[in-house]
Chain A
Amino acid sequence: MQTRPGTRPRRATAKSGRPGMWSIRGPLSRNQYWLFAALGLLVPLGLWWIASSGAAVDKVFLPGPVDVFNRLVTWYTEDDLLSDMGISIYRVTTGFLFSAVIALPLALMIGTFRPVQAVLEPLTDFIRYMPAVAFIPLVMLWVGIEESSKISIIFIGTFFQMVLMMAEDVRRVPLAQIEAAQTMGAQKGETISLVIFQAAKPALLDTLRVTMGWAWTYLVVAELVAANSGLGYSILKAQRFLQTDKIFVGIILIGLIGLVMDQLFRLAHRKAFPWLHLRS
């Protein structure tokens, strides 16, 4: 078989023994990574644009990227997009923070003391299967229809999963690390604060990052409760008026905010736990 000139560089790399990006768990340079990441975003965007530009497709059924962008602009200029985003971010982060602040000490106790685990884990496991949406009438009854009710829904949707995952993070701290401290004379409190908590921190931050995403998925549910602003509320209202383009804007914005927060968590992880990010 003859070798065409164009194929020679590829053969050269194969000869050098350097594994290509398509070898199993092969390497990918930073530039290549961003190239593929951009592809992953631009290709669906292109497909969407092509699919929506056909004359056969009704705008109500599938608005194009341009329609959605225009709607974004009018939402920003005429309908106070920023305050919708602000109130939604406020609700999600407040519900999430309440959840985190209560879940953390509980998880430390569950993961450290077996009686606490026996009391709380089956109960939590039971509650977490209850659908957060179904709590809406109860929340309205008990908490009212103020801001606190929306925050409560996000709390209910996030808290129980968060406790269980964090307790698991705490339980995964290697026993040898705990016992080493004990044989150096560490008291119970010192073992928890200086070893167990410190050792679990990176995993706990990862759990926070993941559950933050879940908190966002409960936004639309939370804003079912007597809201008159917010991204989730706007999506619900747009549905009533068949403003499909606005639904698109709302969904995409929630996705983007989630992406930004996810990246902030990852950045915090790199800054806070440098020993876990030595090779990059």
Chain B
Amino acid sequence: MSTKISIQHVGKVFGEGSHRVEALKDVSLDIADNEFVTFVGASGCGKSTLLRIIGGLEYHTAGDVLVDDQPIMGPGADRAMVFQHYSLYPWLKVMENIKFSRRLKHGRENLTSADVEGASGRADALLSLMGLTAAANAWPNQLSGGMQQRVAIARALMGRPQILLMDEPFGALDAQTREVMHDLILHVHRLEKPTLAFVTHDVEEAIYLADRVVLMAPRPGRIDTIYEVPLPAEREQDMKHTPEFLRLKKEILARIRETSGMKTDQGMLDQLNMQEAV
């Protein structure tokens, strides 16, 4: 598989002088075409910052980020992003939200009439893929959190991005909805074949979805360990209970705890573990 995203010795510094914070230091990672990579790590490890740099929403202060061997210059339609919340346009109905990119000059360039018809068909297809057909004419604030995120995903997919960046997209959803969304996003990944970079704080989610889990550590933000997920490509919910899944989950959780650098947290957890042992 060819490399889609190449992150080379990337560094990121926020602020100046005494407010200087090194959010990322010497981060290097190649993400293959159509790969599904998830990022986990203790808070402050820079996983969201790294995702936003790939999306062109932040600039890196050192190193290079290449997409198809070209350095990225700001945000672009080839790298669509799905946020945790508040990204839908409340003044547009669901269908209009999904078709938003059609209002942009970028989306109207070099279009044939067949493209226009195709786009309408695509919006309909995405709507039914996401199970939103009945909600096409609803306002976003009439929908549940899970449905709103499905609209956001459909809207991001509308422009056929080669890369889909997801920043804790299911972080605000309840556990049952989240499981449904996991299988949905895996289905989307198989169907649309985007390269997928996905930030989460839920380790189970990170393993279940990914080909590789990238564990990052804070102060300064860096890549600590990269785990290959030893599961078949076709995921099923039952796999979450297999020994290899549980072993990996335990290993990653332990490593996050070790790298978090929070002495008080560690002390508290040790205390809890001792109580459990008793």
Task: Give the interface of A toward B (CB within 8 A).
Answer: 174, 176-177, 179-187, 190, 194-195, 198-199, 201, 273-276, 278
Contact = CB atoms under 8 A, between A and B. Distances in A.
Given A179-B57, A184-B77, A190 B104 contact: yes
Contacts of A276: 90
Contacts of A199: 89-91
23 contacts: A174-B86, A176-B84, A176-B87, A177-B86, A177-B87, A179-B57, A180-B87, A180-B152, A182-B57, A183-B57, A183-B77, A183-B80, A183-B81, A183-B161, A184-B77, A187-B104, A187-B105, A190-B104, A194-B104, A198-B91, A275-B90, A275-B142, A278-B139
Contacts of B107: 184-185
Contacts of B74: 182
B104 A184 contact: yes
Interface of B: 55-57, 74-77, 79-81, 83-91, 100-101, 103-107, 139-142, 152, 155-156, 158-159, 161, 165
A185 B159 contact: yes
A219 B266 CA distance: 66
A185 B104 contact: yes
A184 B100 contact: yes
5 cross-chain pairs, A with B, having the tightest CB-CB distances, nearest first: A185-B77, A185-B106, A176-B87, A275-B139, A182-B75
A176 B104 contact: no
B101 A184 contact: yes
Contacts of B83: 176, 179-180
Given A179-B81, A275-B141, A278-B141, A184 B86 contact: no
Given A179-B57, A275-B141, A278-B139, A185 B87 contact: no
Contacts of B88: 177
Contact of B91 (A174, A182, A273): A273
Contacts of B100: 181, 184, 194
Contacts of B77: 183-185
Contacts, number: 90
Contacts of B91: 198-199, 201, 273, 275
B40 to A, nearest CB: 21
B156 to A, nearest CB: 7
Contact of B105 (A182, A183, A190): A190
Contact of A183 (B103, B140, B142, B165): B165
A120 B152 CA distance: 36
A222 to B, nearest CB: 36
Nearest to A182: B75
Interface centre among B91, B105, B156 (most CB of A within 10 A): B91
Contacts of B55: 179, 183
A186 B140 CA distance: 21
Nearest to B81: A183
Given A184-B101, A185-B106, A186-B106, A179 B87 contact: yes
B81 A180 contact: yes
A51 B77 CA distance: 71
Given A183-B77, A184-B80, A184-B155, A176 B86 contact: yes
B108 to A, nearest CB: 10
A176 B101 CA distance: 15
A266 to B, nearest CB: 18
A184 B56 CA distance: 12
A176 to B, nearest CB: 4
Instruction: Determine which residue in B87, B101, B105, B155 has the highest number of CB atoms from chain A within 10 A of its CB, and name it.
Output: B87
A276 B90 CA distance: 9
B90 A179 contact: no
A180 B52 CA distance: 11
A198 B91 CA distance: 7
B156 A184 contact: yes
A123 B140 CA distance: 39
A183 B104 contact: no
A274 B93 CA distance: 11
Nearest to B139: A275
Contacts of A184: 77, 80, 100-101, 104, 106-107, 155-156, 158-159
Contact of A179 (B75, B103, B141, B142): B75
